[in-house]
Amino acid sequence: MEKQPRLLSSQLLLRNRVFEVTLNRTLLTWKEIQTKKKRVSGSMHNTFKLGSYCVPVSEIVAVQEAEVDKGTKDEGRWQKMSQKPIEGYPYAFTVSYVERERQHRWRCHDVTFHCSDGSLCQQWVQRIREQLSLLTSRPKHLLVYINPYGGKQQGKLIYEEKVAPLFSQASISTDVIVTEYANHARDHLKMDADLKKYDGVVCVGGDGMFSEIIHGLISRTQADCGVDQNCAEEKLVPCRVRIGIIPAGSTDCICYATVGINDPVTSALHIIVGDSQALDVCSVHHNNTFLRYSVSLLGYGFYGDVLKDSEKKRWMGPARYDVSGVKTFLTHHYYEGTVSFLPATDILGTPRDKTKCRAGCYICQHNGQLLSEDAQFYRMEDNISHSEMGGDWRMIRGKFLAINAASMSCACPRSPKGLSPAAHLADGTTDLILVRKCSRINFLRHLLRHTTKDDQFDLNFVEVHRVRKFRFMPKHCESDLELDLREGGAGGGKKLLRKICRDHPACGCTPINSSWNCDGEVLPHAAIEVGVHCQLIRLFARGIEDQPLFEDFCTPTVI
């Protein structure tokens, strides 16, 4: 077979101007070589900037031959097609590529190059397609789950109108399942889906829907590998299949904190270009029984109560959180208990850092690497558990308005910097934030600082620790015992419950315990044990990109 030269370079016409267009392994560039405008035919766009432009091949979505209005002499009539003809350049091809806009928004833009002969045009299309086929991280076949009831109930519409056309343009084939009930997606992934067929799973919905997807995928992976999820000390096996999030929920924090915006088109483009971002996952156990996984917020007290109250107001859509937020704030409940945690001592970064986790984060790479080296060491030194080797537990007893574990920043439109602005997506830790009982006005100051530049941790009733594991034990364990008895049916249950009620008479006006908000799902147990599993899953995302000044980053990049 004849070997193709690495570089393809031709003089092509773009908006009536001549450009030297070049394709190498990584870049498509076009440089104007004739600036004098030459109106040949068709409309003239004078707004296009002069100069040189380039697009990385990795950000090309698709290329196709463009159809040009052709006067067919034989038939003596004009066929209406998409591009206006240009004299001497009757052939054209269109390259669709990612263009960056403000606030991390991506859009798909087209540039059409006109050629003087058909075989040159075909050669360009073929060569760009060949380059795209070498990008092995791009998905070809995806399994899509749509929650039609999430957020403003627009999931199906968002997918059909904004996402499906882009997937088909990028030659991605899909199997789409519109869920019919809660946990439909989780159970399908866990038991039925033929995962070998897919390069990824796409979740159209909010954080709760994403939670379903990760539960299905992680449980399936552990079952396939014979790992017992009930054992809190087990090392979990990372999932092969990447997950894409098309935001169509109420908070969409996981999408916002990993992409920088909750915008369906931006997320679809991150999926198409085959981005990959590892994510830490917390496992939550209670009495050696697995309860749930969490990737963003595990919140007891304020956020647990907001969520529980908001579930009764689902009909309000995303506004339910504002109503329940105000109500919960005014109720001002505090909860007593003991928090124990294992600080992450051997790592780079602290929760009070000014630098944030961004695309290609060095801290995530460094700490992730450190943990995998540790894991190898502990495997050699078998019989020694990580907790026995890994440092000292600390214990804090008190009255708390909120206990939050943020495994990522938890940035979202309500709080663009998030609950823990310096938390990392993939460093194997979670930021444990303890908000002690304080006055309403002080708690409001703390909450409001989530929305301003002021530091929400710089208050004497707030502390934050970067941890690998933590436990919470409420002062009163009645509700948990009730749950255990109901679920486990332990013998002598009634007698035990009578004793608890005698020992801790509830006055009936204040709940003794809160519940946990676990990525937007209510977890009724109060006593939990949490461990972070470093980089257990992967998303079609790249982390939030550092944003240069707007003028400088309109792609195609001006060079």
Ligand X SMILES: Nc1ncnc2c1ncn2[C@@H]1O[C@H](COP(=O)(O)OP(=O)(O)O)[C@@H](O)[C@H]1O
Ligand Y SMILES: CCCCCCCCCCCCC/C=C/[C@@H](O)[C@H](COP(=O)(O)O)NC(=O)CCCCC
Q: Which residues are catalytic?
A: 207
- Helix 478-488 / helix 493-503 crossing angle, nearest 10 deg: 170
Upstream peptide bond of 413 is cis (omega within 30 degrees of 0):
no
- DSSP lists the bridge partners of residue 210 as none
Residues in 180-209 that interact with ligand Y by CB under 6 A: 206-208
Work out what residue 179 binds among Ca ion, ligand X, ligand Y, none; the CB cut-off runs from 5 to 8 Å by kind: ligand X
Rounded CA separation 300/292 (Å)? 15
Run of H or E including 215: helix 207-225
Label residue 488 exposed, middle or buried (CB < 10 Å: 0-12, 13-18, 19+): exposed
Among 59, 99, 199, 207, binds ligand X (CB under 6 A): 207
Work out what residue 280 binds among ligand X, Ca ion, ligand Y, none; the CB cut-off runs from 5 to 8 Å by kind: Ca ion
**Judged by CB under 6 A, which stretch of 10-18, 28-36, 393-401, 517-525 contacts ligand Y?**
517-525
Report the nearest approach of ligand X to the CB of residue 252 (Å): 7
Is-contact 554 99, C-beta < 8 A?
Answer: yes
For position 519 contacting Ca ion by CB under 5 A, the verdict is: no
Straight-line distance from the first to the last Cα atom of the chain, in angstroms, rounded to the nearest whole number: 36
**Judged by CB under 6 A, which stretch of 12-20, 154-162, 168-176, 247-255 contacts ligand Y?**
247-255
CA torsion, ordered 260, 261, 265, 270, to nearest 10 deg? 20
For position 294 contacting Ca ion by CB under 5 A, the verdict is: no
Among 59, 263, 280, 305, binds Ca ion (CB under 5 A): 280
Report the nearest approach of ligand X to the CB of residue 282 (Å): 18
**Judged by CB under 5 A, which stretch of 217-225, 256-264, 427-435, 470-478 contacts Ca ion?**
427-435
- Helix 440-448 / helix 320-331 crossing angle, nearest 10 deg: 150
Report the nearest approach of ligand Y to the CB of residue 324 (Å): 7
Label residue 204 exposed, middle or buried (CB < 10 Å: 0-12, 13-18, 19+): buried
Among 249, 260, 343, 351, binds ligand Y (CB under 6 A): 249
Residues in 212-241 that interact with ligand X by CB under 6 A: 212
What residue type is assigned to position 450 of the chain?
Answer: H
For position 149 contacting ligand X by CB under 6 A, the verdict is: yes
For position 419 contacting ligand Y by CB under 6 A, the verdict is: yes
Residue 115 or residue 209: which is nearer to ligand X going by CB?
Answer: 209
Work out what residue 147 binds among Ca ion, ligand Y, ligand X, none; the CB cut-off runs from 5 to 8 Å by kind: ligand X
**Judged by CB under 6 A, which stretch of 221-229, 248-256, 402-410, 484-492 contacts ligand X?**
248-256
- Helix 320-331 / helix 302-311 crossing angle, nearest 10 deg: 130
Q: How far is CA 108 from CA 40, 87, 169, 421, in A?
A: 28, 28, 11, 30
Total binding residues for ligand X by CB under 6 A? Answer: 22
For position 59 contacting ligand Y by CB under 6 A, the verdict is: no
Footprint on this chain of ligand Y (rule: CB under 6 A): 206-208, 249-253, 296-297, 303, 306-307, 321, 325, 329, 410, 412, 414-415, 419, 447-448, 450-451, 517, 519-520
